[in-house]
C-alpha cells in the first residue's frame, strides 16, 4: 500500500509514466502486427465459418478491453472514495475513452462477424445488447465527468456512476449462460478452450498487444489530463487580482 500511495503523487507518477508510455505502445503495436499477420496467413480456415473466423483476433481483444476499461474506471472510482488518491479521478477518465473505443470496436467487429454467421448485422441478443448498454454507459460517464470538471467538482459524482456501472460486467460475462442467445457460449476459460489450437495460438499475441496498447494510451491520457490541470491552475492564479 505505501508503494501505491507513492505512485499517487503526480510527480512520481510522471517520472515513471514518461519512459514507460512508448515502451507499452510500441511493444503492443509490434505484438498486434505479429498476431494479425499470423492469424491472417499462418492459420487454417475454420471448418464451419471458413475465413470469417479470423476476425476473432480483433474481436476478442476488443471485447476484453471494452470490459476491462470499465473495470479500470470502477477501480479508480473506488480508490477516489477510499484513499482520496490525487490521480484516481484522472485515471478513471483516462480509462473511459479507450474503453469506450474498444467497446465500440467490439460491437462493430461482432456485427461484421455476425453477418455471414447469423445472416444479420444485428440481433437483440443478450450479449450484444448488454455490450451496447456498456457503450452508452461509457458515453454517459464521460459526459458526467466533463460536466463535473467544468463546474469544479471533486470527481465524486462521476465516481458513483463509475462504481454503479459495474453491474453490467457480470451481465455481459454470463449473458450467454443465463439466456438462450445467438451468440456462441464461452469459448475460452481457465480450464481450457473449445477453439482448436491451430486457430488459437495467434490470439494471445493480439490480446497482450492490444492490452499493452490500451495501457500506453491510458498513460498518455493521464499525462495529458495532468498537463491540462496544471495549465488551468496556472491560469486561475494569473487571473487573481
**CATH topology (fold) of 24-182+201-227:** 1.20.120
Per-residue confidence at 1, pLDDT binned at 50, 70, 90? Answer: very low
3 state DSSP class of 49: coil
Residue 210 contacts residue 32 (beta carbons within 8 Å): yes
What per-residue confidence (pLDDT) applies to 7? 56
What per-residue confidence (pLDDT) applies to 100? 96
Model confidence pLDDT, tens digit, residues 127-169:
888 899 999 999 999 999 999 887 877 788 899 999 999 999 9
What per-residue confidence (pLDDT) applies to 70? 95
What per-residue confidence (pLDDT) applies to 180? 63
With a cut of 60, say whether residue 191 has pLDDT above it.
no
Model confidence pLDDT, tens digit, residues 219-241:
999 999 888 877 655 655 566 66
Decide: pTM greater than 0.75: yes
Higher pLDDT, 154 or 212: 212
* Pick from 57-61, 103-107, 129-133, 187-191: least confident: 187-191
Angle at 169 between CA 213 and CA 7, to 5 degrees: 50
Model confidence pLDDT, tens digit, residues 104-134:
999 999 888 878 877 787 788 878 888 999 9
Per-residue confidence at 181, pLDDT binned at 50, 70, 90? Answer: low
Which one, of 129, 218, 196, lies nearest residue 168 by Cα? 129
User: In the numeric block, which cell numbers belong to residue 117?
Assistant: 454467421
Separation of alpha carbons 62 and 111, rounded Å: 13
The domain segmentation of the chain, as residue ranges, is 24-182+201-227
What per-residue confidence (pLDDT) applies to 218? 96
Separation of alpha carbons 198 and 39, rounded Å: 10
What per-residue confidence (pLDDT) applies to 11? 78
User: In the numeric block, which cell numbers belong to residue 31?
Assistant: 505484438
Amino acid at each position: 500500500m505505501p508503494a501505491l500511495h507513492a505512485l499517487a503523487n503526480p510527480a512520481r507518477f510522471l517520472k515513471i509514466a514518461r519512459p514507460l508510455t512508448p515502451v507499452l505502445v510500441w511493444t503492443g503495436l509490434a505484438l498486434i502486427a505479429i498476431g494479425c499477420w499470423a492469424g491472417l496467413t499462418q492459420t487454417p480456415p475454420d471448418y464451419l465459418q471458413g475465413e470469417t473466423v479470423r476476425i476473432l483476433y480483433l474481436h476478442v481483444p476488443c471485447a476484453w478491453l471494452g470490459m476491462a476499461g470499465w473495470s479500470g474506471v470502477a477501480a479508480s472510482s473506488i480508490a477516489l472514495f477510499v484513499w482520496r488518491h490525487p490521480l484516481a479521478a484522472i485515471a478513471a477518465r483516462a480509462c473511459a475513452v479507450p474503453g469506450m473505443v474498444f467497446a465500440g470496436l467490439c460491437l462493430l467487429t461482432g456485427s461484421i462477424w455476425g453477418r455471414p454467421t447469423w445472416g444479420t448485422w444485428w440481433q437483440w441478443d443478450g450479449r450484444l445488447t448488454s455490450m451496447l448498454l456498456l457503450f452508452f454507459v461509457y458515453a454517459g460517464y464521460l459526459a458526467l465527468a466533463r460536466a463535473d470538471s467544468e463546474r469544479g467538482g471533486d470527481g465524486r459524482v462521476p465516481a458513483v456512476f463509475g462504481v454503479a456501472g459495474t453491474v453490467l460486467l457480470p451481465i455481459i460475462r454470463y449473458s450467454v449462460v443465463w439466456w438462450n442467445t445467438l451468440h456462441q457460449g464461452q469459448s475460452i476459460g481457465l480450464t481450457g478452450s473449445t477453439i482448436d489450437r491451430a486457430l488459437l495460438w495467434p490470439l494471445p499475441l493480439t490480446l497482450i498487444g492490444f492490452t499493452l496498447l490500451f495501457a500506453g494510451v491510458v498513460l498518455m491520457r493521464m499525462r495529458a489530463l495532468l498537463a491540462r490541470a496544471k495549465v488551468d491552475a496556472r491560469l486561475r492564479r494569473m487571473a487573481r487580482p
